[in-house]
Structure 1
Amino acid sequence: MSDVLTIAMPKGRIFEEAAELLRKANFQLPPEFDDSRKLIIDIPEENMRFILAKPMDVTTYVEYGVADLGIAGKDVMLEEERDVYELLDLKISKCYLAIAGLPNTSTSRVAQKVATKYPNIASTYFREQGEQVEIIKLNGSIELAPLIGLADRIVDIVSTGRTLKENGLVEMGHIGDITSRLIVNPVSYRLKDERIDDIVNRLAEVVDQL
């Protein structure tokens, strides 16, 4: 493996908050780092390379070793169940997984339909609750499903609850709180343990102050 440490990060809110954490931990990221449209960004000063990916792909890149480290939401880790180690709760991008539906939706009907982009999490949750449901996987606009009669309920990420409210939906259950985590490829952790431990320790000091 190369001496360069490769880190996979999701685009969007997590990227912005993670970049701020790295800077607070005294990693020298150039100003243009935040605005770059590149998918691979090299930071020679830190001997680091960043891969910008879709959130659901970060754990895959880390598992297969094309990235040594990654920053992924706990929701992605639970859904994908990849062979990676979780090193640190970064306590950023806080949100939660919730069940929602239209007001007065009955939950007594057998085999209700539940739409979500988290089929594994939803299946596990409802099975543990003893509920028989049919899971419908969607990739976006999950809130639309109850409005058009595709599903009785949804399972989705909630941050402020504004999107649910604007679409006339109400929360009907709380599955779990979500934050972003620092993850590592097991082989990389053995071969680059000193550098990785240094990153973990520096970030942990910043996180403890949040």
Structure 2
Amino acid sequence: MLTVAMPKGRIFEEAVELLRKADYTLPPEFAESRKLVIEVPEENMRFILAKPMDVVTYVEHGVADLGIAGKDVMMEEERDVYELLDLKISKCHLAVAGLPGVRMNQIAPRVATKYPNIASSYFREQGEQVEIIRLNGSIELAPLIGLADRIVDIVSTGRTLKENGLVEFEKIADVTSRLIVNPVSYRMKDEAIDRLVERLSAVIPQ
């Protein structure tokens, strides 16, 4: 049995649609289920529903053979997993944003984000020394209340930024969801995993 860790929310919905296009028989109530572990015996598969940041942890530690994770998580976490396939779903990008017309504080510039590694690496490459403030939610709030000069966050439509009076300054990287695998699982279950990759590859939008 293959165990696949999947994040809840938009990625989950798009991934389920992709699996169905690849002729995997998933129960109709699959997307509506409140269960955290869903078994699909007819496909010899089991799905673990997790928070996006936890998917990579489950795969790295081998409790899941495979996982579906955003490239943003892969860049931030740098875990011991293999990236097998760009599923080209849940497209968005990482960007630097802030209040229009507000310059970075030259003495003690601060950047709020839930991606501290990506943010510090990006600003270091720009030759800028910044203080990183890690937040877990409502990153857009930081410039509004004076906590930070800039934020680094995921931008999908840009609507949330606009509604909060923020603008995008720089794009850091494009982000899509990837199929990742535990290195040991890839050796032990290579045939089943290669078959899954083949079926998904045939239906991934170009």
Match of 2:115 among 106, 109, 118: 118
| Counterpart contact for 2:105–2:149, Cα < 8 Å | no
Q: Does 1:15 align with 2:50?
A: no
The gaps in structure 2 that reach 5 residues or longer are: none
Partner-residue secondary structure (3-state), 2:146: coil
Per-residue deviation, residues 33-75 of structure 1 (Å, max 9, x unmatched): 1110000000000010000000000000000000000000000
Partner-residue secondary structure (3-state), 1:26: coil
The gaps in structure 1 that reach 5 residues or longer are: none
Per-residue deviation, residues 113-133 of structure 1 (Å, max 9, x unmatched): 000000000011001110010
Task: Quote the offset at 1:107 in angstroms.
Answer: 2.9
Task: Quote the offset at 1:108 in angstroms.
Answer: 6.0
Q: Which residue of 2 aligns with 1:88?
A: 85
Q: In the TM superposition, what are the counterparts of 1:42-57 in structure 2 within 5 Å?
A: 42-57=39-54
Q: In the TM superposition, what are the counterparts of 1:140-151 in structure 2 within 5 Å?
A: 140-151=137-148
Q: In the TM superposition, what are the counterparts of 1:13-162 in structure 2 within 5 Å?
A: 13-107=10-104, 109-162=106-159
| Counterpart contact for 1:110–1:133, Cα < 8 Å | no
When normalised by structure 2's length, the TM-score is 0.98
Runs of 4+ more than 2 Å apart: none
The size of the alignment, in residue pairs, is: 206
Q: Which residue of 2 aligns with 1:185?
A: 182
Q: What one-letter code is carried by the residue in structure 2 that aligns with 1:33?
A: F
| Counterpart contact for 1:110–1:132, Cα < 8 Å | no
Distance in 2 (alpha carbons) for counterparts of 1:189 and 1:29: 23
Q: Which residue of 2 aligns with 1:175?
A: 172
Task: Quote the offset at 1:111 in angstroms.
Answer: 3.1
Per-residue deviation, residues 95-120 of structure 1 (Å, max 9, x unmatched): 00000000111136133100000000
Q: What one-letter code is carried by the residue in structure 2 that aligns with 1:25?
A: A
Q: What one-letter code is carried by the residue in structure 2 that aligns with 1:104?
A: G
